[in-house]
Structure 1
Amino acid sequence: LGGHAPVIVCEDTDVRSAAITGAVRKMRNAGQVCTSPTRFFVHDSIFDEYTDTFVDRAAETIVGNGIDPGVEMGPLANDRRIEALTALVEDAREHGADVRTGGGRIGDKGYFFEPTVLVNVPDSARVMQEEPFGPLAIINPITSLDEGIEKANSVPFGLAAYGFTNRADYADRMVEGIEAGNVSINTLEASLPETPFGGVKSSGYGREGGIEGLQHYMIMKNVSHSISIV
């Protein structure tokens, strides 16, 4: 029930802040979060600056035992995730993607995988349709917000989506146009306990959290009562 979550980065945003936020949040729990941002669609006028900043921060991620001081990212859940991510990276490389950092397993003990950034990934690559569920980010250029929304909606998933802009009209267009149960602007927080959380399309049905989540545990009773007025 994941979402292969898209991130649209518009040309008017604070590039460095958005890039660092994206790189740090992407590596949260080694990317094994259903709302993890994965597909970053960045306006071509800021693409190089954003990508360079993102790659540098991702490469600096400290990987290791999650209970050790200073560690920022732990291991994957099992060896199957190592195999799946390796296959997606190799497929993307074969289709012409640029592996800017990472791309492989770390050592031969545990299930540690390098923070990985793929750039200019063609639509034909498997990773554009298959959620990696790991520390792998895709960064592709766009020429307009409309193109970004179209790319965001190009998968059968729709759990979380994100946008970065300082323009209210851009924000409104993303909120209205992106097919996802949760859309966040200028933040990579997808939900709060007091708000409804859920997806659309192949990302599930129903909601948890908020009043809407409580309604699933309630039985509604419809009462019709006819009376005679004397």
Structure 2
Amino acid sequence: MERPLIIALDFKDRTEVDDFLNHFHDEKLFVKVGMELFYQEGPAIISHIKQLGHAIFLDLKLHDIPNTVKQAMRGLAKLEVDLVNVHAAGGKKMMAAAIEGLEAGTPEGKQRPACIAVTQLTSTSQEMVEDELLINENLDHVVLHYAKIAKESGLDGVVCSTHEVEVLNENLGVSFITVTPGIRMKDDSADDQTRIATPEQARRLGSTAIVVGRSITKQANPYEAYMNVKKAWEDTVE
């Protein structure tokens, strides 16, 4: 995977998606379709975005018993998206089943979608891990452990905070994908994220890809905001 800037299409319907994408004319994007949009529009939104020529990260964070995840992934593979994900907390059998489903469902002659595991959400804090999830370990250790079992299960990488990327690269190698959400420009609000970073920080720390939402989608000029984030991410700021 080249080092993409992924835009989170956190919109309620196709109309809002089209209104946003119209700002980009012929620019080919890498976009994220999450639960909010997919549950309203279904697979048709994937076909629509693919017809426009954009790459897609289908962010549904599957977490269920292994057979259910396997069959779900078998169906999602037929959509021919570029990237999908599961929750690492589902365990090694579930993650391995996800890969089996993707391989079984990918059309002949096509490459299966890359599959990554969510370690901990970027809204998760150390206090939440201890007080609510009853995990009595340092958050960084939890993320590293989840990433290790994801790799052992055959996954291609993880979703993680930028602040965990260096440790993951050191322990699992730079070819193991690290997709980092919670990206904000330095003057933006953190909103509901806890472990955030700027595009420059993500680049320096070694993220494979960044996911950016409100810093682009909520701006008066989304195209200009996108280009500013892209310059910062690709180290082309003048």
TM-score range, shorter chain: 0.3 to 0.5
TM-score, normalised by the number of residues in structure 2: 0.33
The two structures have a TM-score, normalised by structure 1, of 0.34
Structure with more of its chain in helix, by fraction: 2
Choose between structure 1 and 2 for higher RCO, CA contacts under 8 A separated by at least 6 residues: 1
